[in-house]
């Protein structure tokens, strides 16, 4: 009885995100239904995923769109498909300068404080933080991690130097949103993924303590994991090392929830989470082993399926896909600039647009589609188009019309990509 009552109380008091959530980004807000179809299909297989529509401030700036367009898209898709479970709209990668634009339309906030990492916090705060964690000095056993963590005063100081200011900044953004939207009316994520160095599990422990000390009821946390999480392509790095750290992160989170009183459903969020096929197996295994939740964020992978669908349609559709590639090729530095830390393109492996112009739709689609066993697949071509959505935004009406004219073939590609290549590999 008591457990029942507590559960109810928690349910009515605060927005609580489900165990598994799936970030469905959509550059041009036209694939909401096709993406939601993939989650409906998962549900039929007994996998309960809730959708989180995410579009970052950076993407809105590049496409010239307003945050409310994402809410409109999400509401429309949910209505059209009769989706009965929860869904969320994520103000993705926001900070104090731009969060106000998202107050109306979002109920999920990804507080991006990566820019503040590595910068010193005020001296008094730093000292208080180090003092508060003296009890961890020595060997700290965390259930599930084989070797106890070795913690010295220097470990605590180093974590504080790297992350204390960032988490203090997250506190400022959180309190700002809380003041405007009311406590418990939104989900909070803290993201420090776009930094140079990955966070090791012991740093995760102190980051989470800082999150708790700021009073941020974070339900998801997005660290930078070891290895490269390039946009739209597979993971690059040591898969075994990733697996070890991912498992340890899950243990640290479970420990921190109890130790620091963080929300019981706190879970990892994986950014640039699409297309990381080689680590989906280890991730799925770890989630089962630890009975842990996950938020997997995808975004640009869906826009690439628009280009694939257009190419498959041949005729004017294929012509637009080729046009996007030609223009993106000519504006390489400009388009890649904002994504420098999350792409690795070898310019010599790109194909000359004159050559691409000779291709049929099948060749274009196979070069772009993320099927690594296909000899035509080219990850440099794919990454350039991934960051090339600005070109499509500039083509504007003509591009949107082509997407509309070829809705069926595009929707099939969007669905297959999310369901077969993503959801199935992680969650089923």
Dmax (CA) of the chain? 71
Torsion angles phi and psi, residue 120, rounded to 5: -75, 140
Interface region with Zn ion, contact rule CB under 5 A, candidates 36-44, 267-275, 335-343, 386-394: 267-275
Q: How far is the CB of 93 from Zn ion (least distance, A)?
A: 6
Least separation in angstroms between residue 412's CB and Zn ion is 28
Distance CA 191, CA 283 (A): 19
Cβ distance 97 to 73 under 8 Å? no
Pick 271 or 379: Cβ nearer Zn ion: 271
Residues 216-239 as b/e (b if ≥16 CB within 10 A, e otherwise) read bbbbbbbbbbbbbbbbbbbbeeee
Beta-carbon contacts of 316 under 8 Å, excluding residues fewer than 6 positions away, are 402, 405
Min dist CB 389 to Zn ion, Å, is 16
The total of other beta-carbon atoms located within 10 Å of residue 179's CB is: 9
Q: Which ranges in 45-152 belong to alpha helices (H)?
A: 57-63, 68-81, 123-132
∠ Cα 425 370 198 (to 5°): 70
Q: Give the contact letters, 188-227, x = binds to Zn ion (CB under 5 A), - = no.
A: -----x----------------------------------
Q: How far is the CB of 297 from Zn ion (least distance, A)?
A: 7
Q: Which is nearer to Zn ion, 162 or 224 (CB)?
A: 224
Site residues for Zn ion, 229-258, by CB under 5 A, read none
Q: Does 379 bind Zn ion (CB under 5 A)?
A: no
Nearest to 26 by CA among 53, 62, 66: 53
Beta bridge partners of 296: 22, 270
Number of residues that bind Zn ion (CB under 5 A): 2
Binding range to Zn ion, per CB under 5 A, among 6-14, 32-40, 187-195, 321-329: 187-195
Among 27, 271, 276, 295, contact with Zn ion (rule: CB under 5 A): 271
Write the CA distances from 242 to 37, 141, 152, 229, 281, integer angstroms: 31, 21, 24, 11, 12
Which stretch in 144-152, 159-167, 268-276, 277-285 sits in contact with Zn ion by CB under 5 A? 268-276
Rounded to 5°, angle at Cα 386 from 297 and 315: 125
- The one segment of 144-152, 185-193, 224-232, 355-363 that binds Zn ion by CB under 5 A: 185-193
Which range, of 99-107, 186-194, 299-307, 315-323, touches Zn ion by CB under 5 A? 186-194
- Cβ neighbours, 10 Å, residue 76: 13
94 vs 145, beta carbon nearer Zn ion = 94
Minimum distance from CB of 191 to Zn ion (Å)?
Answer: 6
Rank residues 271 and 276 by Cβ distance to Zn ion and give the closer one.
271
Q: How many CB atoms lie within 10 A of CB 145?
A: 18
Nearer to Zn ion, 133 or 224 (CB): 224
Closer to Zn ion by CB, 271 or 370: give it: 271
Least Cα distance to 159 among 174, 145, 149 occurs for 149
List beta partners, residue 92.
56
In the three-class reduction of DSSP (H, G, I as helix; E, B as strand; rest coil), residue 52 is classed as: strand
If the CB atoms of residues 193 and 275 are measured against Zn ion, the closer one turns out to be 193
Give 193 or 306: the residue with its C-beta nearer to Zn ion: 193
Residue of minimal CB distance from Zn ion? 271
Q: How many CA atoms lie within 13 A of 121 on its CB side?
A: 23
The residue (of 33 and 271) whose beta carbon lies closer to Zn ion is 271
Nearest approach, Cβ of residue 8 and Zn ion (Å): 34
Task: By CB under 5 A, name the binding residues for Zn ion.
Answer: 193, 271
């Amino acid at each position: 009885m008591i457990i029942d009552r507590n559960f109810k109380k928690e349910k009515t008091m605060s927005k609580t995100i489900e165990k598994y959530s799936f970030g469905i980004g959509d550059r041009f807000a036209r694939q909401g239904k096709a993406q939601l179809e993939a989650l409906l299909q998962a549900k039929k297989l007994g996998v309960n995923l809730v959708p989180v529509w995410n579009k970052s401030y950076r993407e809105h700036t590049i496409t010239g769109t307003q945050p409310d367009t994402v809410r409109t898209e999400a509401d429309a898709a949910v209505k059209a498909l009769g989706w009965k479970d929860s869904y969320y709209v994520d103000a993705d990668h926001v900070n104090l300068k731009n969060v106000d634009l998202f107050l109306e339309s979002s109920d999920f906030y990804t507080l991006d404080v990566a820019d503040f990492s590595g910068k010193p916090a005020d001296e008094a705060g730093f000292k208080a933080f180090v003092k508060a964690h003296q009890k961890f000095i020595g060997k700290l056993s965390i259930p599930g991690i084989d070797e106890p963590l070795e913690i010295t005063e220097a470990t605590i100081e180093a974590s504080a130097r790297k992350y204390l200011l960032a988490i203090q900044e997250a506190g400022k953004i959180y309190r700002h949103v809380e003041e405007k939207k009311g406590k418990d009316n939104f989900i909070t994520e803290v993201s420090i993924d776009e930094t140079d160095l990955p966070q090791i599990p012991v740093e995760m422990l102190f980051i989470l303590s800082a999150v708790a000390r700021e009073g941020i009821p974070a339900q998801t946390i997005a660290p930078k994991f070891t290895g490269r999480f390039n946009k739209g392509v597979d993971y690059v790095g040591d898969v075994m090392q990733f697996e070890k750290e991912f498992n340890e992160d899950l243990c640290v989170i479970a420990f921190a929830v109890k130790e620091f009183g963080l929300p019981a459903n706190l879970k990892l969020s994986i950014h640039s989470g699409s297309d990381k096929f080689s680590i989906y197996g280890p991730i799925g295994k770890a989630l089962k082993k630890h009975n842990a939740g996950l938020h997997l964020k995808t975004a640009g992978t869906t826009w690439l399926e628009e280009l694939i669908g257009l190419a498959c349609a041949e005729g004017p559709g294929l012509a637009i896909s080729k046009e996007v590639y030609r223009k993106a090729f000519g504006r390489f530095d400009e388009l890649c600039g904002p994504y420098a830390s999350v792409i690795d393109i070898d310019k010599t492996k790109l194909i000359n647009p004159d050559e691409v112009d000779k291709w049929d739709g099948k060749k274009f689609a196979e070069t772009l589609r993320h099927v690594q066993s296909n000899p035509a697949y080219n990850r440099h071509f794919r990454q350039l188009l991934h960051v090339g959505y600005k070109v499509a935004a500039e083509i504007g009406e003509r591009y949107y019309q082509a997407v509309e004219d070829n809705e069926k073939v595009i929707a099939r590609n969007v669905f297959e990509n999310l369901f077969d290549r993503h959801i199935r590999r992680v969650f089923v």
